[in-house]
Amino acid sequence: MQLLFTQRIAYNDTMRHELSTQELEVILRTFRHDMAPQTPQEEVLADVLEHSLGFYFDRVPDAAKVFRLCQENGDPVLNDHVAFRSIGVGPIEGNSIVRLFENLGYTVEYDSDTGKPFNFKGKKLDAVYLRHPRNPNMPRIFVSQLRIDGDDAIVPEAAEIVRKSLTDATDPLAGLSKQAIDGMLPSDIAHKLHEQWIPPVNLQDYLALLEDHDSEYAAWVLHNKFWLNHFTLTVNGLNNTLNFTDKLKAAFDSSNSFEDVLPFYETFMRNEFIPYLTQNGFVLNAPDGKVLNVSPDGLLLQCSTKAGKEHETFPCGGQHDVATSYVEFAIRGLTRDAYLALKEENMTWAELDRTHYREGFETANATTIFESTNIHDRPSEAPSLWQRLTDFLGIQV
């Protein structure tokens, strides 16, 4: 297989190549090994994901730093999930990213509470995630989609900018049927995900989208297209860095019930993992001061970095910062069934795999994580578009 670093595409003049060729090769080899493909279709899928992660790691300095820290401490870089963003032109189930990965062997999963796509009402988003039905080592894939039509959609002015921006755009994934994929190289499929298929948005429209909190997501997609939005490190694997499993076993051994173990996960994240991140220079996403997100059942805990920024030159010649991608971190707790099997000695710790840990996603957690790409921490009273344009142009009024 031809690795990605031999066939990079130019994203823009400010794209940062933080990794050496050798480091990138090690990262990709590590991820491929962890995916453990078993069939020809899984080999193709692993190739596509490997190439996509190559684009991502070559562009996101925080991701490179995460990998280096894990490597220095001898810990695996376990990939809980990756995420893509999109703009709605139909139901999320018909989304071209979703269809692509279905054609590569994944199955679509929904909100377990409703049996429907996740509905992020406050964000004007729908989402599903995809899970491989046979190989639990394949990362989950989270796909979200911004609503631009209907009652619970972004404001009409923002929706009009989006429609205008998409007028001459052709979705590069639209024709990727299962039959078409069978005749393509995995690297070509990955390149389809990274094509510049939306014409560059103009600065005035970009600033207008930033003006409305909900449509910052649209600004991100119009600039970044289908690039990976984030990769998620499985914190459970940090056994050399922070002795996670030994500490979980200690909490387990001292417990009398499944519920007794639950406080361990949050305590570990707050007292050990998050301080570890800040000590190593990561800037964490913290809207309204909230860094850690915990699901109601206490079994899914997530935090993230703030997305990086690129100083982009727009078609008009003006320049402005644009958000790129970020890194998420997640702990998934033992399921009740796994806890009981361990307590009753029907299973050993060595037999645990990803299927024995909490599955799915939580809208409340993800709602906060979405803030990672907000280009700035919004003040309580955001400046008007006119104020921001005059500040940008250096005009005093």
- The answer, as to whether pTM is greater than 0.85, is yes
- Let me know if residue 384 belongs to a domain: no
Q: Compute the average pLDDT of residues 114-132.
A: 93
**DSSP code of residue 225:** T
- Let me know if residue 330 belongs to a domain: yes
Q: Compute the average pLDDT of residues 74-100.
A: 88
d(CA 193, CA 47) in angstroms, rounded, equals 13
- Let me know if residue 5 belongs to a domain: no
Q: Is the pLDDT of residue 394 over 70?
A: no
- Let me know if residue 132 belongs to a domain: yes
Sign of torsion over alpha carbons 62, 213, 330, 95? negative
- Let me know if residue 327 belongs to a domain: yes
Which range has highest mean pLDDT (148-152, 203-207, 258-262, 385-389)?
258-262
Q: Is the pLDDT of residue 8 over 60?
A: no
Q: How confident is the model at residue 93 (pLDDT cuts 50, 70, 90)?
A: low
Give residue 213's pLDDT.
80
- Let me know if residue 157 belongs to a domain: yes
Q: Compute the average pLDDT of residues 14-36.
A: 78
d(CA 292, CA 342) in angstroms, rounded, equals 28
Cβ neighbors of 351 (< 8 A, separation 6 or more) are: none
Contact 285, 304 (CB under 8 A): yes
> 171: domain range?
14-373
Contact 139, 358 (CB under 8 A): no
pLDDT digit string, tens, across residues 275-326: 999 999 999 999 989 999 999 999 999 999 999 999 999 998 899 999 999 9
CATH number at residue 81: 3.10.180.50
Q: Is the pLDDT of residue 101 over 70?
A: yes
Of the given ranges (55-59, 139-143, 238-242, 293-297), which has the lowest mean pLDDT? 55-59
Give residue 359's pLDDT.
96
- Let me know if residue 163 belongs to a domain: yes
Q: Compute the average pLDDT of residues 171-197.
A: 90
Contact 176, 189 (CB under 8 A): yes
Q: Is the pLDDT of residue 12 over 90?
A: no
- Let me know if residue 62 belongs to a domain: yes
pLDDT digit string, tens, across residues 336-350: 999 999 999 999 999
% of the chain exceeding 90 in pLDDT:
71
Give residue 378's pLDDT.
43
Domain count, the chain: 1
Give residue 83's pLDDT.
97
* Average pLDDT along the chain: 88
pLDDT digit string, tens, across residues 254-264: 999 999 999 99
